[in-house]
């Protein structure tokens, strides 16, 4: 260094001096000095580049090869697989630069271990074109997974005839290089498939449903459903309220199509016959009804054990049902001033067959029952109460509403005539109007509704 300082001092003297000879000598001194500096501090080094990204400097390319070989041997030992190549592209790029920090061998080894994945020949189980990828050691292992899934799905088919077993998702086995660290045994892959993912489903509460029925219909326990809906109070379900049914769904769903033959009852019909020797509101069974029996063969589609489709393929009637015949009184009218809610029952507003029941039908929800009638037939108050409507009311046509108190009302629609007016106090069984075909009606009949606290109920449950 003393030497260098001396040269530098000389150089300074040259600059201070005068004349071209001195300048020339000064130039040579600078050149020598730069050359000296270069050989001293500027060397060839290598950048470790992984997937195009500079990760650090090393002094020799062979150091990288050594680190790669060590990492590869380690991967080979840990996985027991024959490593074919690295998943990442790794290169040593020569660079010329001034002094820079070089990675130690230890640092280089851990850099490679942490950033380079190794490939081994195996097979990929691709679900939905790679949406989910499961690496296995071989095609045979992957096939084992699929076979086991199908085997499990059909294990408890009982006496059903299994027609086909398919996967709901698009499932394919692709042999090729896979990341050695991701290869799992068929057992582990099956566990992973079963552990699945959360599928969000919701349910809108319909009339008549309870927390219990919703849980039951969705294969959940009440406490499971409560856990999924911590903010919902089971006793305070509202119609139309959304309930979460989020549940785990396996990564691969198995759809089993099978044929099942079961014996089922054929419900019997009930026919009402008017009888004027019986009091109105009284009934008498003439012929006891009996359900029939049939053998039905269904094609049932199940996904993960739950039925997703059920189609009847064939029906064989074993025994026909017997229609129940009931005599229905039409004679004299029992007048009663009891409120409907105190007796809990309503009288029939007129005798006749129910030609359309309460509930869902093809044209939508039917909010009452239709009772067969001829135009002009007498219509009676189902219970004592006050007439609150006796006028044309949209699709109901000529319409009467009787308020029985305590939240209960009855409605009589499509009438041809009124025998009462708004404000009248009427008794149970008192004639209030006449049946007809007014409003949206396809023929003479009595449309009868029971309204409790503002919502319609099935009148059959309130009629005597």
- Which residue ranges make up the site for Zn ion (CB under 5 A)? 370, 447
For Zn ion, the closer CB: 258 or 350? 350
> Whole-number minimum distance, CB 447 to Zn ion, in Å?
3
Question: Do residues 426 and 381 make contact, with C-beta atoms less than 8 angstroms apart?
Answer: yes
Question: Do residues 251 and 127 make contact, with C-beta atoms less than 8 angstroms apart?
Answer: yes
Looking at residue 417, the DSSP 8-state letter turns out to be E
> Whole-number minimum distance, CB 295 to Zn ion, in Å?
36
For Zn ion, the closer CB: 350 or 447? 447
Q: Name the closest residue to Zn ion (Cβ).
A: 447
For Zn ion, the closer CB: 177 or 441? 441
Instruction: Report the 10 Å Cβ neighbour count for 356.
Output: 15
For Zn ion, the closer CB: 211 or 380? 380
For Zn ion, the closer CB: 280 or 447? 447
Q: Which two tokens stand for residue 204?
A: 């809108």
Length of the chain measured in residues: 464
Q: What are phi and psi of 422, to 5 degrees?
A: -55, 135
Per DSSP, the residues of 202-222 read: EEE--TT--HHHHHHHTT--H
For Zn ion, the closer CB: 361 or 421? 361
> Whole-number minimum distance, CB 269 to Zn ion, in Å?
20
Question: Do residues 439 and 370 make contact, with C-beta atoms less than 8 angstroms apart?
Answer: no
For Zn ion, the closer CB: 339 or 354? 354
Pairing of strands 270-279, 324-331: parallel
The Cα 113–Cα 108 span in angstroms is 9
Q: What are phi and psi of 227, to 5 degrees?
A: -65, -35
> Whole-number minimum distance, CB 463 to Zn ion, in Å?
15
For Zn ion, the closer CB: 302 or 370? 370
For Zn ion, the closer CB: 193 or 369? 369
Nearest to 371 by CA among 455, 274, 446, 269: 446
Q: With DSSP H G I counted as helix, E B as strand and the rest as coil, what are the percentages for the chain, rounded to 5?
A: 25, 45, 30
> Whole-number minimum distance, CB 347 to Zn ion, in Å?
19
> Whole-number minimum distance, CB 380 to Zn ion, in Å?
18
The Cα 83–Cα 81 span in angstroms is 6
> Whole-number minimum distance, CB 373 to Zn ion, in Å?
11
For Zn ion, the closer CB: 183 or 400? 400
> Whole-number minimum distance, CB 133 to Zn ion, in Å?
58
For Zn ion, the closer CB: 370 or 424? 370
> Whole-number minimum distance, CB 416 to Zn ion, in Å?
15
The Cα 444–Cα 422 span in angstroms is 24
> Whole-number minimum distance, CB 336 to Zn ion, in Å?
26
Nearest to 371 by CA among 388, 349, 355, 394: 355
The Cα 202–Cα 188 span in angstroms is 31
Collect all residues with Cβ–Cβ distance below 8 Å to 202 and sequence separation of at least 6.
242, 243, 244, 245
Burial (CB < 10 A; 0-12, 13-18, 19+), residue 223, is exposed
> Whole-number minimum distance, CB 173 to Zn ion, in Å?
59
Pairing of strands 369-372, 378-380: unpaired
The Cα 72–Cα 79 span in angstroms is 11
């Amino acid at each position: 260094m003393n030497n260098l300082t001396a040269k530098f001092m000389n150089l300074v003297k040259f600059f201070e001096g005068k004349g071209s000879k001195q300048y020339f000598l000064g130039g040579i001194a600078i050149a020598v000095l730069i050359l000296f500096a270069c050989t001293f501090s500027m060397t060839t080094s290598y950048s470790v580049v992984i997937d195009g990204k500079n990760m650090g400097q090393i002094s020799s390319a062979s150091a990288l090869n050594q680190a790669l070989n060590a990492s590869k041997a380690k991967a080979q030992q840990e996985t027991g697989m024959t490593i074919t190549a690295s998943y990442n592209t790794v290169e040593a790029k020569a660079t010329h630069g001034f002094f820079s920090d070089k990675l130690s061998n230890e640092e280089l080894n851990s850099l490679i271990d942490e950033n380079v994945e190794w490939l081994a020949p195996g097979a990929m189980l691709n679900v939905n074109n790679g949406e989910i990828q499961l690496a296995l050691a071989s095609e045979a292992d992957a096939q084992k997974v699929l076979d086991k899934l199908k085997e499990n799905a059909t294990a408890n088919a009982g006496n059903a005839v299994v027609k086909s077993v398919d996967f709901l998702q698009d499932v394919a086995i692709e042999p090729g290089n896979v990341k050695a660290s991701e290869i799992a045994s068929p057992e582990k892959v099956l566990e992973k498939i079963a552990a699945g993912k959360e599928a969000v489903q919701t349910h809108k509460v319909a009339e008549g449903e309870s927390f219990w029925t919703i849980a039951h219909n969705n294969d959940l326990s009440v406490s499971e459903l409560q856990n999924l809906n911590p903010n919902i109070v089971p006793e305070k379900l509202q119609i139309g309220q959304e309930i979460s049914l989020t549940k785990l769904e396996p990564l691969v769903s198995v759809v089993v199509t099978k044929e099942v033959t079961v014996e089922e009852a054929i419900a019997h019909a009930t026919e009402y016959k008017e009888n004027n020797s019986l009091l109105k509101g009284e009934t008498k069974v003439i012929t006891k009804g009996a359900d029939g029996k049939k053998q039905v063969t269904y094609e049932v589609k199940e996904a993960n054990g739950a039925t997703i489709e059920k189609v009847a393929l064939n029906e064989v009637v074993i025994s026909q049902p017997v229609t129940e015949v009931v005599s229905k009184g039409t004679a004299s009218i029992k007048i009663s001033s009891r409120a409907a809610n105190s007796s809990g029952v309503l009288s029939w507003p007129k005798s006749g067959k129910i030609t359309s029941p309460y509930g869902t039908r093809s044209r939508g929800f039917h909010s009452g029952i239709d009772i067969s009638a001829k135009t002009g037939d007498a219509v009676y108050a189902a219970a004592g109460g006050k007439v609150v409507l006796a006028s044309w009311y949209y699709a109901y046509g000529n319409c009467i509403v009787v308020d029985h108190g305590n939240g209960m009302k009855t409605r009589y629609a499509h009438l041809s005539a009124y025998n009462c007016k708004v404000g009248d106090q009427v008794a149970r069984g008192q004639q209030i109007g006449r049946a007809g075909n007014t409003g949206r009606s396809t023929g003479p009949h009595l449309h009868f509704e029971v309204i409790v606290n503002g919502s319609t109920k099935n009148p059959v449950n309130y009629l005597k």
